[in-house]
Structure 1
Amino acid sequence: MMRTRPLKVALLGCGVVGSEVARIMTTHAEDLAARIGAPVELAGVAVRRPDRVREGVDPALVTTDAAALVRRADVDVVVEVIGGLEPARKLITSAFEHGASVVTANKALLAEDGPTLHEAAEKHGADLYYEAAVAAAIPLVRPLRESLAGDKVNRVLGIVNGTTNFILDRMDSTGAGYAEALDEATALGYAEADPTADVEGFDAAAKAAILAGIAFHTRVRLDDVHREGLTEVTSADIASAKRMGCTVKLLAICERTADGRSVTARVHPAMIPLGHPLAGVREAYNAVFVESDAAGQLMFYGPGAGGSPTASAVLGDLVAACRNKLNGARGPGESAYAQLPVSPMGEVVTRYHISLDVTDKPGVLAQVATTFAEHGVSIDTVRQQGKDGDAWLVVVTHSAPDSALSATVEALRGLDTVRGVASIMRVEGE
């Protein structure tokens, strides 16, 4: 039996994603109604520039008063795709207060203030869905929240930013430098005019915070995530990775510590072996590798950005939220019962690939090796090359605490025989 009164949806934002959500709601209206059990239709569309033509959106639905729209008594679900912290935060909490559930793609807000939003949803008996906040169309949030709810997730390792993956892929496949690859990404629409959020790792760090919180049932904020971008990655780093049988990726890594008493979350460039599943992720695609006790190793792969893929995730959440409204039920809320502390980056056990510009004379290698030994870091391999007084040492370490590796690098910089530390990169995925 289908209910005749339609469920009403307030859409906040009608840009690339919002306009696609509106289009799919219109063109697939009959299918959505059949899947939900009731018709679903737009109650209003809040925008900043009402005079802009929006194909497929009834101008009568357009408003600049988003606050009034979310307070309407007939609104069942609010879809927020405007992004940013404010006014999104106030609009979402107001929606909860007035009885609406919320579907959002706002990774920045969730990473910054997710617990507050979850508490507001719980208080008012509403749903908060956010599949689109991480990796767009790739089903990832729901599997972690629901499908793996009975399992113990130990590690989440992934490529969660398409722009940076495109840049690194171009550097690897064509030999382009960072600036050249960034220009191509911008020309193709993968990078914004201001690419800072992507290339400095802020976007990936927000997603890492969300994933770590879900996977480990622990509140993880953006400030808890160690973050490094890829602006310092050079063509020489890419070439060195190839010589090691590796490729370079910007990775989001969330994992339990060895003793299980804390978790870590970090984003940084890393070399990974070509045999690792993530090494073959090309162009602007995303992929996330999940390791758990019972399910073992799982990989989620697909387009991680763009209007249509993101809208797909939003519509999936919308169907779930509408079904719950219709049946008087609620979806999963926040699960933060574990309350594990987040360890600092210095306690993370990892490996380093270090390139040193050194003087070409006897005893240099011994001096460098002694410095590593003094800081408790074991060397795995060393490659040395030199010509006409110039020499390079490329050192790959065994696993050690990141703090010990960082201290080693600082000590190396102080050696008279080391003219410079050309590059430092972690090695992961082995």
Structure 2
Amino acid sequence: MMRTRPLKVALLGCGVVGSEVARIMTTHADDLAARIGAPVELAGVAVRRPDKVRGGIDPALITTDATALVKRGDIDVVVEVIGGIEPARALITTAFEHGASVVSANKALLAQDGATLYAAAERHGQDLYYEAAVAGAIPLIRPLRESLAGDKINRVMGIVNGTTNFILDKMDSTGAGYQEALDEATALGYAEADPTADVEGFDAAAKAAILAGIAFHTRVRLDDVYREGMTEVTAADFASARQMGCTIKLLAICERAADGESVTARVHPAMIPLSHPLASVREAYNAVFVEAEAAGQLMFYGPGAGGSPTASAVLGDVVAVCRNRLNEATGPGESAYTQLPVSPMGDVVTRYHISLDVADKPGVLAQVATVFAEHGVSIDTVRQHGRQDGGGEASLVVVTHRAPDAALSGTVEALRKLDTVRGVASIMRVEGE
């Protein structure tokens, strides 16, 4: 039977995502009530600019005092979609203190200080849900937290930023340069006026920290994630990738060490075989590939950003939290029992594609091979060809077998010191084989 007293929801933020959450709550009120078992009522909306016209939202609900809203005491669920660290953190913890559960889309805060939020939620007996923080509408957090809770996850690898995937996809499919592809992404609204958070990997790194923490039941913070952006990827890199039967993606990779005693989390561009499911992810879509011991390989795919997709994930959490409140229960909290250390990037073992500009004369290949051997990095293949414009230079492409990142770094440093090496044109990891 449906109870008559509505569950009250406070909305913090009414931008692209927040306004869509409010719209869906209003237009689908009857369906949401039927799924939850009680009506859901939008009880207040905290904004910075109260004079802005917000169609479909009762102006009486608008307030600029977010703190007073979460302190009301009659709020059941606070939806936080303002982003950033503060005041979001203070508002969320205040909501817990005053008896409300929280649904958040704040990847930056969860990656930097998720442990504090988890502890506050547990202390006050409230829920903290955040499906929308990673990969938009794709159901990913809940499968990792709940559906795969009985399994052992060894690796999570994915495309978790739509802007960068759009740019790299355009570079691959049209031959465009980085700046040209970025301009198109900006014109279409995929990239912000300042795209730094996306193209330099900060956005993906925050998501990687969240995914690693859930997958490996250990605390992984944003500072633990190795990060490289994709602004240096060139058309020449794509040409080399095609020769290897690969494409290039900006990947978030979280994996358990072979001995199970540590984990790593990293974000960087990488070559990936065209046969891998992630290679076919086009445009601004996201996809995450999970490798579990019992379940095997799982793929999660869909739109990773935008008002409607993100609002879908937010409302899914709202329904789950409201059901929990009706049942006087809470969902899963933090699972960090393993307390595994996060290893540095130097411990990561993978393959590498290195492009060198070298002097076009006998003996160069032997010198380069010797440097690789001295640092314990085994060479798989080598391609060398002279420059068409002459000038006494050649291009040398080396693809290695699997080796520790620290060994590769030492190799590159030594190569730069050779008189016959004019420059290291690019270094790219090869993943997903």
1:300 match: 300
2:171 match: 171
Deviation >6 Å, runs of 4+: none
1:20 match: 20
Q: How far does residue 380 in structure 1 lie from its aligned partner after superposition?
A: 0.4
2:136 match: 136
Equivalents in 2 of 1:305, 1:229: separation in Å? Answer: 19
Equivalents in 2 of 1:330, 1:258: separation in Å? Answer: 35
TM-score normalised by the chain length of structure 2: 0.99
Matched, 1:390 2:393: yes
Which AA in structure 1 matches 2:422?
R
Q: Which runs of 5+ in 1 are unaligned?
A: none
Q: How far does residue 318 in structure 1 lie from its aligned partner after superposition?
A: 0.1
Deviation by residue 1:268-320 (Cα, 9 ceiling, x = unmatched): 00000000000000000000000001100000000000000000000000000
Equivalents in 2 of 1:143, 1:315: separation in Å? Answer: 16
Which AA in structure 2 matches 1:177?
G
Q: After the TM superposition, which residues 144-163 of structure 1 pair with which residues of structure 2 at under 5 Å, given as runs?
A: 144-163=144-163
- 3-state SS in 1 of match to 2:238: helix
Matched, 1:413 2:416: yes
Equivalents in 1 of 2:73, 2:340: separation in Å? Answer: 40
Q: How far does residue 326 in structure 1 lie from its aligned partner after superposition?
A: 1.0
Q: How far does residue 106 in structure 1 lie from its aligned partner after superposition?
A: 0.1
Deviation by residue 1:109-155 (Cα, 9 ceiling, x = unmatched): 00000000000000000000000000010000000000000000000
Matched, 1:54 2:57: no
- 3-state SS in 1 of match to 2:4: coil
Q: How far does residue 390 in structure 1 lie from its aligned partner after superposition?
A: 2.0
Say what the alpha-carbon RMSD is for the aligned residues.
Answer: 0.4
- 3-state SS in 2 of match to 1:205: helix
Q: After the TM superposition, which residues 44-123 of structure 1 pair with which residues of structure 2 at under 5 Å, given as runs?
A: 44-123=44-123
Equivalents in 1 of 2:187, 2:310: separation in Å? Answer: 21
TM-score normalised by the chain length of structure 1: 1.00
1:429 match: 432
2:402 match: 399
Equivalents in 1 of 2:36, 2:72: separation in Å? Answer: 22
Q: How far does residue 73 in structure 1 lie from its aligned partner after superposition?
A: 1.3
Q: Which runs of 5+ in 2 are unaligned?
A: none
Equivalents in 1 of 2:124, 2:94: separation in Å? Answer: 10
Which AA in structure 1 matches 2:272?
I
Equivalents in 2 of 1:423, 1:349: separation in Å? Answer: 19
2:218 match: 218
Which AA in structure 2 matches 1:422?
A
Equivalents in 1 of 2:357, 2:269: separation in Å? Answer: 21
Which AA in structure 2 matches 1:76?
D
Equivalents in 2 of 1:188, 1:98: separation in Å? Answer: 42
Equivalents in 1 of 2:248, 2:319: separation in Å? Answer: 38
Which AA in structure 2 matches 1:84?
G
2:313 match: 313
Which AA in structure 1 matches 2:430?
V
Which AA in structure 2 matches 1:424?
I
Which AA in structure 1 matches 2:397?
V
- 3-state SS in 2 of match to 1:299: strand
Equivalents in 2 of 1:340, 1:198: separation in Å? Answer: 28
Deviation by residue 1:169-188 (Cα, 9 ceiling, x = unmatched): 00000000000000000000
Q: After the TM superposition, which residues 326-345 of structure 1 pair with which residues of structure 2 at under 5 Å, given as runs?
A: 326-345=326-345
2:265 match: 265
Equivalents in 2 of 1:365, 1:151: separation in Å? Answer: 47
Equivalents in 2 of 1:205, 1:351: separation in Å? Answer: 21
Equivalents in 2 of 1:149, 1:45: separation in Å? Answer: 35
1:205 match: 205
2:32 match: 32
- 3-state SS in 1 of match to 2:264: strand
2:235 match: 235
1:374 match: 374
Equivalents in 2 of 1:180, 1:260: separation in Å? Answer: 43
Equivalents in 2 of 1:16, 1:276: separation in Å? Answer: 33
- 3-state SS in 1 of match to 2:289: strand
Which AA in structure 2 matches 1:218?
T
- 3-state SS in 1 of match to 2:253: strand
1:360 match: 360
- 3-state SS in 1 of match to 2:409: helix
- 3-state SS in 2 of match to 1:270: strand
- 3-state SS in 2 of match to 1:265: strand
Equivalents in 1 of 2:347, 2:37: separation in Å? Answer: 51
Q: How far does residue 327 in structure 1 lie from its aligned partner after superposition?
A: 1.1
